[in-house]
């Protein structure tokens, strides 16, 4: 019995050793074959994003005072909350590491499929979740975090997964679920003593509360953590974080007290001790208590424990001089500050706090309307990546563009200038004024923004569709103070520019239905004709192209392509053969059976021959016939007389020259002859014969047309018919002359 028992125990032991050995072997192969590489790729990617540098605190933190402003509608409509933007990986950052992150997902999938018995499944799930997060794929990230939390609720990576899950929810503005997940993150982090995760979760809770304008809620997690912590060092950490929140939101009075308590009540490390004194001194400077601030800064500057951070202390001493100058303190001079800045530029390179100082110095000049000096300081502040890099870059670019655009308006703004400008030049000035207004609006100079929006409207060409954008921006600027005037401006846009983007938005805001625009395509076409009439050819072609591209099945589509090609072939001063061919080709390929396509067949063949320098056959040359085939148009009071081919149409008869199509002249001529001679068959038969010959010419192939030796023979009637026609009516001109190609619609009657 004992022997059998010993054997059984031995077998169990052997099996256990085998199993342990197999598990160890699985772990060994999983780690070195796959997991090690995946983890290394994530670390390299994070290093590219500078994530790791932010996690290693070996230098004092850099706090930036962020002025609190009331949230606007645009702030809440943004896709990503401003306090979560720092976690988003931009396209420029993502592109260099795209292959690495793809490889992490591939390796992770292999581990999950083939090595589920290993101890690296939990870590693999987290690596994959990180990869999805850096790729901005929030839902897959949440799925992987959820799997990890479900399978390993108390695992090593559970706090990390909770925090990453929370970030993905907050980025998507799912604030309710984000708050719940942050609360769970705090619980699991306390349980597993993950104070790094805890600090990050508190920071997110505070940022969310500040975003929702609830300052008390922002401080509550830190007060609770200080109460629950048993360690003096942890209490000092939470107290310092709470003081930092107060500093950043501009509550310097409470922040000074909170920084003071860090050293007086708790037990911080050397770095925490230094930060508390450094920023307490800055709070005192901002509060005007200069002597107290100066004593603290001198103490920590001379203290050997903080010698490695003297460049930070020097920056705060320089800031103290700045505050004294702003307060008109007679104990300092501007030369003192200039000397300190020169020393800082050479000695404090790489000091991120010095960059914050340069940014604030630039803001001083900006508020004094000294844009030149402000731009210089913003340029220095953006030399290196820092907490204020984006803000400094934005201010620098805005001021640079503002300076350039204002120079272009100097002549207009000069009261002594009475120079008249062309309409096109005025519209360019209007665009510059509009851009200046946008910059002032972004810089929150509302009075200046209103002034330049109004200037843009005054300078703009009313026929240019871009004018609608200027008026729309001006209406938004005036809405808060003058809502009735703003609505009136929107009505003006809806009436005059219904098909522009601003027109659509104006109609939506005013509650107008789509019936407000009777016929979108017809309006677009009429707009193109009007623009063509005023020689605004670029905008006219844009309207015609929009019709052909957006409404290809509409009856106006072939007419629009015809008109666009005509403009490039005939109208513009520097004729563009390539563009004319482009639009004519689109017309013949998409609408080959339309009368407009048939009308330009010979012209298109001629243009293509001329483009490539080929010899143009006589059958395609129209220069000898141009004068004889060109209609002559004369105007009389109350009527429009077309001498050739013999049409007289009164205005009240409803004859619309805008809607003439190829062949319409023949029909109108026939109607006139019927009115004059009744059913006299000979002139009508000759006219019908002429029209049939014209139609047959349009439908003939190019090869057949080339075989025609003399195009004039086509238009020649027998001499007897000509004599008879002359006897029947001396008032009717020779109807055998016909225009080869009619011009696109024109309200002037010119074809």
Q: Which of 69-73, 191-195, 483-487, 668-672 has the highest mean pLDDT?
A: 191-195
pLDDT of residue 98: 87
Q: Which of 98-102, 503-507, 642-646 has the highest mean pLDDT?
A: 98-102
| In-domain check, residue 218 | no
Q: Tell which of 581, 597, 616 closes a domain.
A: 616
652/605 same-domain check: no
| In-domain check, residue 30 | no
* Total structural domains within the chain: 3
431/483 same-domain check: yes
| In-domain check, residue 199 | no
Taking alpha carbons only, the member of 473, 404, 465, 481 closest to residue 437 is 473
640/697 same-domain check: yes
512/534 same-domain check: no
pLDDT surpassing 60 at residue 16: no
Read off the CATH number of the domain in which 532 is found.
1.25.40.10
pLDDT surpassing 60 at residue 442: yes
What token pair was written down for 246? 């107060």
Q: Which of 167-171, 570-574, 681-685, 719-723 has the highest mean pLDDT?
A: 167-171
Q: Tell which of 616, 640, 669 closes a domain.
A: 616
484-489: long-range contacts (C-beta < 8 A, 24 or more apart)? none
654/603 same-domain check: no
Taking alpha carbons only, the member of 641, 692, 648, 651 closest to residue 668 is 648
At 452, the pLDDT band (50, 70, 90 cuts) reads confident
pLDDT surpassing 70 at residue 258: yes
| In-domain check, residue 184 | no
667/611 same-domain check: no
**Spatial separation of the C-alpha atoms in residues 668 and 646, rounded to whole Å:** 9
494/455 same-domain check: yes
Query: Is the overall model pTM greater than 0.75, yes or no?
Result: no
DSSP-assigned letter for residue 641: E
| In-domain check, residue 460 | yes
H or E element that contains 650 = strand 647-650
| In-domain check, residue 562 | yes
Taking alpha carbons only, the member of 438, 505, 428 closest to residue 467 is 428
Read off the CATH number of the domain in which 434 is found.
1.25.40
611/641 same-domain check: no
pLDDT 10s digits, 689-710: 655 655 555 455 445 544 444 4
648/698 same-domain check: yes
pLDDT of residue 730: 41
pLDDT 10s digits, 322-331: 999 999 998 9
Residue with more model confidence, 411 or 665: 411
Q: Tell which of 616, 643, 662 closes a domain.
A: 616
Residue with more model confidence, 409 or 598: 598
**Spatial separation of the C-alpha atoms in residues 134 and 111, rounded to whole Å:** 20
pLDDT surpassing 80 at residue 236: yes
pLDDT of residue 627: 36
CB atoms < 10 A from the CB of 515, how many?
Answer: 6
At 43, the pLDDT band (50, 70, 90 cuts) reads confident
Share of the chain above pLDDT 70, in %: 69
Q: Which of 250-264, 336-350, 427-441, 725-739 has the highest mean pLDDT?
A: 250-264
**Spatial separation of the C-alpha atoms in residues 291 and 257, rounded to whole Å:** 17
pLDDT of residue 626: 41
Which CA distances in Å does 373 have to 55, 354, 392, 445, 451?
Answer: 35, 17, 13, 18, 24
N- to C-terminal Cα separation, the chain: 120
What token pair was written down for 96? 């260099």
CB atoms < 10 A from the CB of 727, how many?
Answer: 8
Average pLDDT over residues 134-153: 93
At 687, the pLDDT band (50, 70, 90 cuts) reads low
Dihedral sign for Cα 417, 423, 425, 431, please. positive
**Spatial separation of the C-alpha atoms in residues 269 and 274, rounded to whole Å:** 9
Average pLDDT over residues 385-393: 79
pLDDT surpassing 80 at residue 439: yes
| In-domain check, residue 542 | yes
Q: Residue 659 is part of which domain span?
A: 627-728
pLDDT of residue 736: 37
Sheet holding 639-642, edge to edge: 633-636, 639-642, 647-650
At 169, the pLDDT band (50, 70, 90 cuts) reads very high
498/587 same-domain check: no
pLDDT surpassing 60 at residue 335: yes
| In-domain check, residue 250 | no
Taking alpha carbons only, the member of 578, 584, 577, 587 closest to residue 557 is 587
549/598 same-domain check: yes
Angle at 565 between CA 560 and CA 568, to 5 degrees: 130
Q: By the 8 A CB rule, do 729 and 683 touch?
A: yes
563/509 same-domain check: no
Which CA distances in Å does 703 have to 605, 617, 653?
Answer: 10, 11, 42
Q: Is 118 helix (H, G, I), strand (E, B) or coil?
A: coil
pLDDT 10s digits, 304-319: 989 999 999 999 999 9
Q: By the 8 A CB rule, do 353 and 312 touch?
A: yes
Q: What is the dihedral of CA 363, 365, 366, 369, to 10 degrees?
A: 160
Which CA distances in Å does 527 have to 210, 520, 542?
Answer: 50, 10, 10
């Amino acid at each position: 019995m004992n022997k059998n028992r010993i054997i059984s125990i031995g077998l169990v032991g052997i099996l256990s050793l085998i199993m342990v050995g197999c598990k160890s072997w699985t772990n060994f192969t999983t780690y070195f074959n796959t997991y090690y590489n995946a983890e290394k790729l994530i670390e390299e990617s994070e290093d590219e994003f500078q994530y790791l540098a932010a996690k290693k605190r070996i230098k004092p933190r850099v706090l930036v005072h962020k002025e609190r402003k009331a949230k606007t509608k645009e702030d809440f409509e943004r896709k990503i909350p401003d306090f979560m933007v720092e976690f988003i990986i931009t396209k420029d950052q993502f592109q260099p590491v795209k292959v690495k992150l793809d490889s992490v997902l591939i390796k992770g999938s292999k581990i999950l499929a083939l090595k589920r018995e290993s101890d690296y499944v939990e870590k693999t799930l987290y690596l994959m979740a990180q990869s999805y997060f850096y790729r901005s794929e929030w839902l897959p990230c949440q799925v992987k975090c959820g799997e990890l939390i479900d399978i390993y609720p108390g695992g090593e990576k559970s706090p990390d997964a909770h925090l990453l899950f929370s970030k993905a929810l907050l980025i998507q503005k799912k604030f309710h679920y984000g708050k719940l997940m942050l609360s769970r993150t705090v619980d699991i982090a306390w349980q597993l003593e993950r104070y790094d995760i805890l600090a990050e979760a508190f920071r997110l809770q505070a940022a969310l509360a500040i975003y929702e304008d609830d300052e008390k809620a922002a401080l509550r997690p830190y007060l609770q953590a200080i109460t629950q912590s048993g360690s003096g060092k942890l209490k000092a950490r939470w107290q310092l974080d709470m003081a930092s929140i107060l500093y950043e939101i501009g509550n310097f009075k409470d922040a000074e007290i909170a920084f003071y308590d860090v050293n007086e009540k708790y037990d911080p490390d050397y770095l925490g001790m230094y930060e508390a004194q450094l920023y307490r001194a800055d709070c005192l400077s901002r509060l005007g208590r200069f002597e107290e601030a100066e004593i603290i800064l001198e103490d920590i500057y001379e203290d050997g424990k903080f010698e490695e951070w003297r460049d930070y202390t020097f920056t705060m001493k320089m800031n103290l001089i700045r505050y004294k100058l702003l307060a008109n303190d007679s104990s300092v001079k501007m030369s003192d500050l200039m000397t300190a800045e020169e020393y800082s530029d050479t000695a404090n390179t790489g000091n991120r706090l010095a960059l914050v100082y340069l940014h604030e110095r630039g803001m001083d000049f900006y508020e004094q309307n000294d844009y030149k000096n402000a731009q210089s300081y913003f340029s220095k502040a953006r030399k290196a990546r820092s907490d204020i890099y984006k803000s400094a870059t934005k201010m620098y670019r805005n001021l640079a563009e503002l300076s350039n655009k204002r120079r272009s308006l100097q002549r207009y703004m000069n009261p002594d200038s009475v120079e008249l400008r062309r309409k096109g030049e005025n519209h360019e000035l209007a665009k510059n004024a509009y851009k200046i207004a946008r910059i002032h609006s972004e810089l929150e100079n509302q009075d200046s923004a209103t002034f330049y929006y109004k200037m843009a409207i005054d300078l703009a060409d009313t026929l240019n569709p871009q004018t609608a954008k200027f008026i729309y921006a001006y209406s938004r600027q005036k809405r808060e103070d003058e809502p009735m005037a703003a609505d009136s401006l929107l009505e003006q846009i809806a009436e005059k520019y219904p098909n522009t983007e601003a027109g659509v938005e104006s109609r939506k805001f005013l509650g107008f239905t789509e019936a407000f625009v009777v016929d979108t395509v017809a309006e677009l076409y009429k707009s193109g004709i009007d623009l063509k009439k005023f020689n605004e050819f670029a905008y006219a072609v844009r309207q015609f192209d929009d019709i052909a591209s957006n409404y290809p099945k509409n009856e106006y589509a072939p007419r629009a392509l015809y008109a666009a090609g005509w403009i490039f072939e005939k109208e513009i001063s520097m004729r563009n053969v390539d563009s004319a061919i482009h639009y004519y080709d689109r017309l013949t390929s998409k609408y080959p059976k339309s009368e407009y396509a048939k009308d330009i067949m010979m012209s298109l063949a001629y243009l293509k021959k001329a483009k490539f320098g080929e010899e143009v056959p006589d059958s395609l040359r129209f220069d000898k016939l141009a004068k004889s085939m060109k209609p002559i148009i004369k105007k009389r009071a109350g009527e429009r007389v077309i001498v050739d081919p013999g049409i007289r149409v009164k205005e009240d008869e409803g004859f619309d020259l805008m809607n003439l199509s190829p062949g319409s002249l023949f029909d109108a001529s026939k109607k006139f002859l019927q009115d004059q001679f009744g059913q006299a068959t000979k002139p009508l038969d000759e006219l019908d014969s002429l029209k049939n010959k014209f139609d047959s010419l349009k439908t003939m192939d190019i090869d057949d047309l080339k075989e025609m030796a003399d195009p004039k023979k086509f238009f020649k009637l027998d001499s007897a018919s000509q004599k008879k026609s002359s006897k029947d009516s001396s008032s009717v001109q020779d109807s055998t002359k016909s225009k080869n190609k009619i011009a696109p619609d024109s309200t002037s009657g010119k074809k």
